[in-house]
Amino acid sequence: MAEKQDIAMNQFQIVTDADYVYVEKGNNQGKIKKSDFIDIVKRYITSVRFAGGIPDSDLNSIYKNEESGISIYSISAAILNSPATYSFCINIQRSGKGDVIASQRILQIVPDDNLVNLRTGKGDGEKIVYTSWRRI
């Protein structure tokens, strides 16, 4: 009988396509067919907007100008609260324009350096409070 082995996630094989996505639900693991997973994701994406430049030249101002959904920005100059100058920024926002009670995620992709940075923001009722950027 084969012994069970735990394999670290950073040792998983890198693939470009898959039949299933493996998930956790509560304390259990499961799998979802790729087509079902895509349908689930589509239900939560209300829209994708290619927004161009950063409003007010400050990443902390994105939530003031966007509705809920996904927005993609091009960063081609020095922007306040951005760890990289030339990059793309994907803003995922749960709340409406200017809403300070929900949350957002910002992914920054730096193509030249193969970097991806992430930070989250959560509304406290008065403003969005952001975490520090972390490289993922």
CA nearest neighbour of 75 among 85, 90, 83: 85
Contacts of 4 (CB under 8 A, 6+ apart): none
pTM listed for this prediction: 0.60
Cα 8 off chain centre by? 23
pLDDT digits (tens, 9 = 90+) for 101-119: 878 888 888 887 778 999 9
pLDDT digits (tens, 9 = 90+) for 7-47: 787 788 888 888 988 888 888 889 999 888 877 777 666 56
Beta-strand relationship, 69-76 and 134-135: unpaired
CA nearest neighbour of 68 among 97, 106, 39: 97
Per-residue confidence band for 1, with pLDDT thresholds at 50, 70 and 90: low
pLDDT digits (tens, 9 = 90+) for 81-101: 888 878 888 888 888 888 888
Query: HEC string of 79-129?
Result: CECCCCCEEEEEEEECCCCCCCCCEEEEEEEEHHHCEEEEEEEEECCCCEE
pLDDT digits (tens, 9 = 90+) for 50-78: 666 676 788 888 888 888 888 888 887 77
Contact 110, 117 (CB under 8 A): yes
CA nearest neighbour of 46 among 66, 73, 20: 66
